[in-house]
Each structure stands twice: as C-alpha cells, then as structure tokens.
A and B are shown apart, each in its own frame.
Chain A
C-alpha cells in the first residue's frame, strides 16, 4: 500500500506509545497507521457521516463533531500530538484552530499544500487560479478557503505564539531542501506553544 507522503512523515515523527488526536481524520487511515507503526492510541474527529462509518469499520475511535466549534470537549494538554493533515486550508477559523491544537496537545502537527509551489505561481502568472494534484478543485467548487505559502504559515505561527519545532517540505514525496517555498508541494510542520 502506498502511504500518503505527509502520513509517512508523521509516522516518523510520532514516538512510540504517543496519545494522538487526529482532527479531520477522514476514514481513520492515519490513526490506524500510527496504531500499527507507533503503538499510538487516540481518537479521530470527523463531521462527515461516511467517514465516521469508515472509521468504525477501521476499528478506530472517532468522535463526530464540527471542528469549527472548537475543541471544548477535550481537556488541556491531554494529548501528546494533535494532528491536522491537509485540513488547515479548509478551516474557517484558522487562528482559533492553531490555538486549540496547542491547548489540547503538547505539540501540534499540521500538513498543507504549499500555495507558493512554482506550478501554482506559474498558473497565476498566466492569469488562472491554480489547479494541481494537491489543489484539485476549480475556484468555484473548492472547499479550500484559506490557502497559504510556507512563509505565510510561519508568520501566522509567530503571530499566534507558536514555535515551529520541525519542518519537512516534500515534492513528489521527496524532501526539498533548497528553495522550499518555491519547489515544495506539501508542507509538514511540528509546533508547540512558545509559552506553556
């Protein structure tokens, strides 16, 4: 089975026996991976009925709720990692989400498609909204309302009082070291609240 590249990175980063909370967990694939590879335990959060059912079929703990209303059901610092994979760009209250992640988790992990990727820039230079493997939607039907570049995200982290602990930028599933904001398709960040 091909593991999604941001999942592969997360599995590398999460230590054994961690307690994890996966926000927007989809069908529970990442939680299942973390359980199998890292002996991690935890919960997924999902709003979609079909995904909740898929999680139950995958034997993954899932809590059906709307992320946008915050994480009031979860106690402060009750997880080692709170994960938001390829969901940040579709979240309405982005700042609140980052703050809630840092409140509930000792650390947060976020993955998102890099809007600054050269191919996206090229399409805009030609006068079109970008459509790519990472951003497969047309402008009028996209759920992605808060797209950002690596630089934008890092600014927001600073503004919200988050310290970035680790960053991995990927292109075609391989790490990008030079000119990441231009050459990277997918960003994976690990962060924590600068002041606990």
Chain B
C-alpha cells in the first residue's frame, strides 16, 4: 500500500540531540588516529524488537544530525530534511527508526576542529586530522554498534550524503539492506574540485584564519567563510532557478553606480554568506570539502567503479535532477551503469526539476512519492 502523502503527514515534533562517546581509537584513512571521539545524533520513530527498521540519514556539506523536527527551546530550528521525514511522510517514522548523525570533524556537536583536544586542553584547530567519507562511515558504524543495530534497513542521503550511503554499501556490505543515493556522484569532477579549492583559498587566505588556530585569537575568518558560502551557493542553484528567483531585480529600485549591492541576487548571497559565517566552523569547511574531493571508490580498482561495487549486497535507489549541474544526471548514471554491470537490484529516477542541486532538499511530489514507494518496498521486506 502506498503512502498517502496528502493526509496525516505531520512533523516528528520536538526532538532532542544526543551524544555518544567512543573511547576506542579510530584509525583514519589519512594515517592519523583519533584516540576518542563523540558523535552527536538524533533519532525519530521507534526501533523495533529485532532492530531491523533503522534508517541512517547522512548529511551533506553544511548540514547536521538535526534532520527532522524542532527543538523545544528553538521552535524555528526545523530539521534540514523535515519535509521528507516524519509520521506519514516518505521516510515514515511510524514504520522506521530514523537516525541523523553529525559527521566526525563537524561543528554541530560531533568531535571536530573546534572541540577541545583532551591531550592539550585546547581546541584541535589545525591539528584536527583530515577525514574522509570512509572515516565517516567507520564512525557511523560505531554509532550503529552503540545503538545495537547490526544492519540498517536503509542508508540514505543527498549529495555528499549520497556518497556516504554509497560508501556504506561497499565498506559494510552486510550491514545495509538498501541505499538511497540522491543527487550524488561517484567522484567529484575537476570543476567540482575547482569550486572547492576556491572556497578553501577564500578561507585560508583570510588573515583571521591564523593557519587554522584562530580560536586562540578569539576571531573567526568570516570573510573567507562568506566567500566560500557564496560560491558554493551559486553552484547549488541552476541558472534558470536563479533567474526565476531574482531576475535582474534591484534591491533599492535603482542602480547605485557604486560597488555596493545593486541587484537582489547580490543581497541574497551576502545574506547567505553572513548567516553561514556565524555558525559554521572554517576548519570543518576545509575538511568536508577535502573529503568530497578525495571520494573516489574506484581509485583502488584502476578506475573501475563496477569492480568497487562488486561486493555490495544492498538494493539501490539512485535519483538525480535534470537541472543539477553540480552533480549532473550523467554522474548518477555512472553509478547506475556500474550497478547494472554487477546485476544489482537498482532503480533509477531522473527527476525533471528546475532547481539545480538543491532540488534534493525541496518538496517535489514526484520525487517524494518515489522515495515513499521505494521505502514501502523496504518496509515490506523487513516485515516479512
């Protein structure tokens, strides 16, 4: 029976973040070891008796473990994927136990560069190691152990979150029933890496960056973060979506013949940049963009993605959006082709949406209905 998305679709309501401490050292792909770490996470819905109904939601660049619902003391702080997760929603919390987790190296509660290094009593800062998608998945697996979950019904995510879902199927083939890989890619393109590098250069050349140890100077490299966010934001939207949203509209109704804001789009980008620079950690931004750049599961297999996916056991739902030029449909099709070569269970949806990369976060009925239908199948499978 398909979800009825029109009635009784509600929010998970008030939620509270949790923390888990992991005292066992974690060896990272880059060679460093974290002796201990914390992960911040949230859960929605109830874990069933045989612990088979868990869905892990992986976040993209700037998001967090706060995926759905609101906080009691901050009722406007809605989870970043609240439109798809909740009772009666496509990721139905009446059926599934849904987990959001902040990635290692993040700045929303999990151990990251701004956290205090117990060895020194000071923030890690520049000394916080470079982390990879593989490291995140290894850390997620510790959280799964902590919660007593041997196998996820599904691991899902969009963009960088989709890459983590894909990595899960390769790194822990026996622990993933299904992977929903949305608006993702098997690697970044040279252009993607180039955008990331511009963002990183904006941060590291900000005089307030202090080589990553800006915490001691009581400053934040705000200018760098603003620029990083502005350039990132441009790549998340399509040309058409930007034109539709802003056109050439003027903020003051006239041209100022100055270098201050003339156009609405400038005003919007500055606002987004300012907001971002107030809550996001510069060191986290560097590490997350590097994790994106490094992601290349086919690398160890002479570039053969099919070989990288040969040991996967999950079923796959892959989706892309036609106007997404950051992670275009062609990149998702590379994943689909490699899965077909392995005769994996896979469905692929190419959603005709005008919003660019950000479409994966938006409430589009075609897209949401497909996720709902796929997860209905997953639920039927675990209920048998």
A residues lining the B interface (CB < 8 Å): 19, 41, 43, 49, 52-53, 55-57, 59, 61-65, 73-75, 78
Q: What are the residues of chain B within 8 A of A74 when measuring CB–CB?
A: 337, 340
In angstroms, Cα B345 to Cα A56, docked, is 12
Interface residues on B, range: 20 to 34
Task: Please determine whether B343 and A53 come into contact, CB atoms closer than 8 angstroms.
Answer: no
| 8 Å CB interface, B343-384 against A | 343, 345-352, 366, 369-370, 373-374, 376-377, 380
Q: How far is the CB of B204 from chain A (nearest CB, A)?
A: 40
Would you call the interface of chain B mostly helix, strand, loop, or mixed?
helix
Q: How far is the CB of A40 from chain B (nearest CB, A)?
A: 12
13 contacts between A and B (CB under 8 A): A41-B343, A52-B349, A56-B317, A56-B347, A56-B370, A56-B374, A57-B2, A57-B377, A59-B377, A59-B380, A61-B347, A63-B347, A63-B348
Task: Please determine whether B340 and A73 come into contact, CB atoms closer than 8 angstroms.
Answer: yes
Extra A-B contacts (17), CB below 8 Å, given A52-B347, A61-B347: A43-B340, A43-B346, A49-B366, A52-B370, A53-B370, A56-B377, A57-B373, A57-B376, A57-B377, A59-B380, A62-B347, A63-B336, A65-B333, A65-B348, A73-B337, A74-B337, A78-B340
In the complex, which of the residues B317, B366, B370 has the most CB atoms of chain A within 10 Å of its own CB atom? B370
Binary contact track B66-106/A, C-beta < 8 Å → 1, others 0: 00000000000000000000000000000000000000000
In angstroms, Cα B35 to Cα A18, docked, is 51
- In the A-B complex, the 7 residue pairs with the smallest Cβ-Cβ separation, listed nearest first, are A56-B373, A57-B373, A59-B377, A63-B348, A64-B350, A73-B337, A62-B347
B341 at interface, CB cutoff 8 A: yes
Q: What are the residues of chain A within 8 A of B2 when measuring CB–CB?
A: 57
Known contacts A73-B333, A75-B341; is-contact A53 B346 (Cβ 8 Å):
no
Q: How far is the CB of B168 from chain A (nearest CB, A)?
A: 20
CB within 8 A of A62: which of B340, B348, B369?
B348
Q: What are the residues of chain B within 8 A of A73 when measuring CB–CB?
A: 333, 336-337, 340
In angstroms, Cα B366 to Cα A128, docked, is 40
Task: Please determine whether B373 and A65 come into contact, CB atoms closer than 8 angstroms.
Answer: no
Q: What are the residues of chain A within 8 A of B317 when measuring CB–CB?
A: 56
Binary contact track B308-350/A, C-beta < 8 Å → 1, others 0: 0000000001000000000000000100110011010111111
Closest to B315 in A: A61
Known contacts A43-B340, A56-B370, A73-B340; is-contact A61 B345 (Cβ 8 Å):
yes
Q: How far is the CB of A43 from chain B (nearest CB, A)?
A: 7
Q: How far is the CB of A98 from chain B (nearest CB, A)?
A: 21
Q: How far is the CB of B29 from chain A (nearest CB, A)?
A: 31
Closest to A57 in B: B373
Q: How far is the CB of B322 from chain A (nearest CB, A)?
A: 11
